[in-house]
Structure 1
């Protein structure tokens, strides 16, 4: 017996050694396979813990850290990496984007073909004497809704939940209602009442409005607030709603439902009172095999075609249970593949994305639902090919998670052109910095969302920087001095003008003509002392060509670490007397999503809902251990693409009136409405409204012409 065991161990080790030596088809050094991994959001990082072990033991596998899971998919498609671990939702995006990859293994945590089996459970009191249609059985009953989750670890995503609803409901396509409200309307008109607890949309005020408009969808909840704290909220709460007799039907994972009944000690009672409801209108006893509405596949190992066979063999070598306690390269690789507690199941042969997804009943159909006709979309204007590419991937990722209306992407040459395109009605939104707040307002555009950070130093602060040798101690000392601005008509220009005219009690004309001895603001009166930009204005000060430069704290700190000039150490901030703590003349958010002033409230709600949902899933606070896509941060190794990397979240202007933002004086967005946009003295060579209209018309003509 001992001899046979030793022989098995020997051949197992020999097989694994063969796997390592025989790979050779990878894109790494000496043909090593390159594994793309995405680090989680927490403090624990897998790459520095496990990747060195692969190198030390010559495992034939190298690590590459990707920005997000779709970044890893793109790298596999381009051939720069060879394999990685993905969710079935990632595979949907890969299929839509025509990425040619193969599924080699499933990461199974149980010995069964699918991760989730979604079933419907009903109270037998609603069942008729004989089988009939789902519509006839469920009409006017009480729904215990399991909720819409963005967490991949939960049984039902918003897409899957919405798909289950469409199997029963008739679609509502009222053009006067948002996409979200149309779905709520259909749900409320079909069921007598329901408990759909938890947030319906990210915006709290809008969420409250919708719950007041459709009270029947909260009528079965334990609390009138219909919140995530309700006893009937979530997958467990919906089962409680059913078993306590409040509701008639719910959806859930078959294993979760069985475990719930056993845990509550009501398995026998449940068998007597409840049944599985099937999609064809029949039903089964809880003691029978459940009829499944929807199957969700396991996470999978995906590889490029050339490396698929080697990756498959490598993953298969990790099926030995001893991997979980292996401190060598196999244990390290198992941890990196997230299968140290799982069984990688080999697919023979490896399958394409389309073929693999087709195996799961209902899953692919859930991501191929037809929308209303004509279809709705939100067009985002971008300013570079790279930004448009990122927008298109963001669109794919959003569609996977059921975010609607769909995001579309347009391309123009600059932020100014994008704003003109939105003003002309050829795009819905554009993202631009605070320097465009005033120009956008003149074009009848308004920021519907802001890129928020709670770190004051990283906002768009406007600070007066001076040379310490000048002995300037208060803001009034700047009268008669030379001033440098990053650009004319930007946030610094208007912030300083507003501050000085208010504090000195002078007219706008006096400010322009006589307050400063000399002004450099690129774009004013056609003059250009330097190229527009904050660093250029700061260099002007460091070189002694001006007495004060109005730039952001963030730019100054960055410039100070890079500058070789000894004068940078003499550059100090001059704080307003009533804002010594933050030292800024004004502050504004990192960036803004602009839309036309005249859009309907419905359209505004749709724009806010779509971008805030994307922010919740793909921003810096998703509920996942690693992200499918990253809205903020690097994209294709470039920073600040579409959105600022320091963005924490997207929010409406309402957040500016709450802590901590209401504690920071001189917010520019809140004072924007007080500015006289057509003051002659503000603009040097004034751009009149008629010229703006002419420019917009010309841009629109060129768009249609070319």
Structure 2
């Protein structure tokens, strides 16, 4: 509503993100405010914005924090700020106004209140004012939740409406699970009130709500373009875009399809799209080849950390440091995986325990007791024709590192994501990242490991200023859906397909500031000399 007025600052500065445009405009228009919360899902950006636009926190109880809880935030807090903390206008809801001033609400009678409603008024869109005790003027109304049906049910609408009413009346008293979980009803909203069916768009327009949802900042509207390689990913991306837009997430997400991962990376390089995803060690090679840099990546598990390459040993093992592994039987995740090959290989080369001339052969010679690295004997994985027989001696059954370890292996090089498959009462982690070595429990994989693994990562060609805008929409979407996968599950199975756009195992998205991508580049360069990168 403010944007429609000529007095409100324009928000079409495309050198900053849409969210920052809003913050900048509000801080220019209002001298002081209290707008608490996470302005950006990226902590660094959130802190920078709250420092730059600190007048938007000036009327808060804790301006330096500017976050929930705050006595002057929220629907009641805004009225408290207006009445007692120097505020001159409060944006809130009618029901909270009536409660604040002790006025009757629906069937609830008036109550005692120290606040005097005659000292305040509703500010109307046309600039007029109406008394608090009278009928309020509103800027917009949030529509009631409703049941939506296809056009072909219209002929059956009356009996359907009656059946829903009967169910709602029956459920109001006992409130069974189906009342909320199936019908989506409550004791406050128990049947459809309108006698004539109405289209969803028209229903939203009745309350000025379409305008609220679809508001833009003026052409050209900024978008963040995600590049994908399959039709399924394109479909998921488009659904995700519609959902994010309806939830006030800006800039709008757009979707571009290319035939391959490399074509997507080239598209980002050539400004045909803004973001493309790669897995594992491809982060380093893609960054180098296409002059891109990582923007955000997936995190996993309840602690929401990246994956780590870890070394697992039996609790009764005598192994405590890397030198103790010489001549032992090693078990690995498959050839080409970071945890199974790249991390232990780089570690041994970096420690000068093996040479980089014949990497895989030398790996097998170090673990001379016979090992299992699934896929090592495939011709495409051994173009130099190295003798890799030592790395196949322990492979049997399903070829997994767990089975190899159970069949008298001494150490298993796996991902921290695999640890749930191991019995924590029988196995421990070997802390190769610690100078002193030692062992630790599975829960401490973030501090006891071989190396941090690169997660599925989204790369961009833009500089950091644009990264704030590019990352804002996907990160905000992930933050919103963190506890509401019922609204849209961005990580789950999609049309019975796994790992579409994001890995099923992912639990969130975070900016890549804490990821040591230079380390990954070093690993890639070393493995490239081995011919296995």
Do the two structures share a fold, i.e. TM-score over 0.5?
yes
Contact preservation (8 Å) 1:453, 1:590 = no
Shift of 1:510: 7.0
Q: Indicate how the Cα distance of structure 1 residues 453 and 557 shifts in structure 2: closer, same or farther if over 3 A, else same.
A: closer
Shift of 1:433: 2.5
1:161-180 CA-partner distances (Å, limit 9, x unpaired): xx555556232222322222
Contact preservation (8 Å) 1:197, 1:232 = no
Question: SS of the residue aligned with 1:206?
Answer: helix
2:293 alignment partner in structure 1: 446
- Structure 1 gaps of 5+ residues are 1-162, 562-570, 657-668, 688-706
Question: Is 1:242 the equivalent of 2:43?
Answer: no
1:141-161 CA-partner distances (Å, limit 9, x unpaired): xxxxxxxxxxxxxxxxxxxxx
Contact preservation (8 Å) 1:432, 1:592 = yes
1:578 alignment partner in structure 2: 438
2:474 alignment partner in structure 1: 611
Aligned partners of 1:457, 1:277: CA distance in 2, in Å? 45
Pairs within 5 Å for 1:233-272: 233-262=73-102, 265-266=113-114, 269-271=116-118
Shift of 1:394: 0.7
Aligned partners of 2:215, 2:42: CA distance in 1, in Å? 26
Q: Indicate how the Cα distance of structure 1 residues 636 and 683 shifts in structure 2: closer, same or farther if over 3 A, else same.
A: same
Question: SS of the residue aligned with 1:396?
Answer: helix
Question: SS of the residue aligned with 1:644?
Answer: coil
1:646 alignment partner in structure 2: 505
Shift of 1:410: 1.5
1:428 alignment partner in structure 2: 274
Q: TM-score, normalised by structure 1?
A: 0.60
2:489 alignment partner in structure 1: 630
Q: Indicate how the Cα distance of structure 1 residues 473 and 302 shifts in structure 2: closer, same or farther if over 3 A, else same.
A: same
Question: SS of the residue aligned with 1:434?
Answer: coil
Contact preservation (8 Å) 2:304, 2:508 = no
Pairs within 5 Å for 1:245-644: 245-262=85-102, 265-266=113-114, 269-271=116-118, 273-310=119-156, 313-319=159-165, 322-324=169-171, 332=178, 336-341=182-187, 342-360=189-207, 362-443=208-289, 444-455=291-302, 460-463=307-310, 475-476=322-323, 477-478=325-326, 486-488=334-336, 490=338, 492-505=340-353, 507-509=355-357, 511=359, 514-517=362-365, 520=376, 523-524=380-381, 526=383, 550-552=413-415, 554=417, 575=430, 577-582=437-442, 584-588=449-453, 590-596=455-461, 599-618=462-481, 620-622=482-484, 627-644=486-503
Shift of 1:578: 3.2
Aligned partners of 2:465, 2:90: CA distance in 1, in Å? 30
Aligned partners of 2:69, 2:135: CA distance in 1, in Å? 33
Q: Indicate how the Cα distance of structure 1 residues 319 and 334 shifts in structure 2: closer, same or farther if over 3 A, else same.
A: farther
Aligned partners of 1:440, 1:344: CA distance in 2, in Å? 56
Shift of 1:419: 3.2
2:368 alignment partner in structure 1: none
Is the deviation greater in 584-593 or in 200-209?
584-593
Aligned partners of 1:216, 1:458: CA distance in 2, in Å? 34
Contact preservation (8 Å) 1:458, 1:553 = no
Question: SS of the residue aligned with 1:343?
Answer: coil
1:643-670 CA-partner distances (Å, limit 9, x unpaired): 122322222245x5xxxxxxxxxxxx43
Aligned partners of 2:224, 2:471: CA distance in 1, in Å? 11
1:25-58 CA-partner distances (Å, limit 9, x unpaired): xxxxxxxxxxxxxxxxxxxxxxxxxxxxxxxxxx
More helix by share: 1
Question: SS of the residue aligned with 2:33?
Answer: strand
Aligned partners of 1:434, 1:177: CA distance in 2, in Å? 31
2:395 alignment partner in structure 1: none
Question: SS of the residue aligned with 1:496?
Answer: helix
Q: Indicate how the Cα distance of structure 1 residues 438 and 481 shifts in structure 2: closer, same or farther if over 3 A, else same.
A: farther
Shift of 1:418: 2.9
Aligned partners of 1:459, 1:536: CA distance in 2, in Å? 25
Shift of 1:409: 0.9
Q: Indicate how the Cα distance of structure 1 residues 312 and 338 shifts in structure 2: closer, same or farther if over 3 A, else same.
A: farther
Contact preservation (8 Å) 1:388, 1:409 = yes
Aligned partners of 2:202, 2:81: CA distance in 1, in Å? 38
Contact preservation (8 Å) 1:379, 1:429 = yes
2:35 alignment partner in structure 1: 196
Is the deviation greater in 441-450 or in 503-512?
503-512
Question: SS of the residue aligned with 1:299?
Answer: coil
Aligned partners of 2:201, 2:525: CA distance in 1, in Å? 60
Contact preservation (8 Å) 1:538, 1:556 = no
Aligned partners of 1:441, 1:491: CA distance in 2, in Å? 20
Question: SS of the residue aligned with 1:182?
Answer: helix
Aligned partners of 2:416, 2:524: CA distance in 1, in Å? 29
Q: Indicate how the Cα distance of structure 1 residues 579 and 375 shifts in structure 2: closer, same or farther if over 3 A, else same.
A: farther
Aligned partners of 1:471, 1:553: CA distance in 2, in Å? 22
Contact preservation (8 Å) 1:537, 1:549 = no
Shift of 1:308: 4.1
Q: Indicate how the Cα distance of structure 1 residues 512 and 454 shifts in structure 2: closer, same or farther if over 3 A, else same.
A: same
- Structure 2 gaps of 5+ residues are 103-110, 366-370, 392-397, 432-436, 443-447
Shift of 1:374: 2.2
Q: TM-score, normalised by structure 2?
A: 0.77
Aligned partners of 1:231, 1:521: CA distance in 2, in Å? 66
Q: Indicate how the Cα distance of structure 1 residues 472 and 616 shifts in structure 2: closer, same or farther if over 3 A, else same.
A: closer
Question: Is 1:217 the equivalent of 2:77?
Answer: no
1:65-108 CA-partner distances (Å, limit 9, x unpaired): xxxxxxxxxxxxxxxxxxxxxxxxxxxxxxxxxxxxxxxxxxxx
1:513-536 CA-partner distances (Å, limit 9, x unpaired): 634349827654547999xxxx76
More strand by share: 1
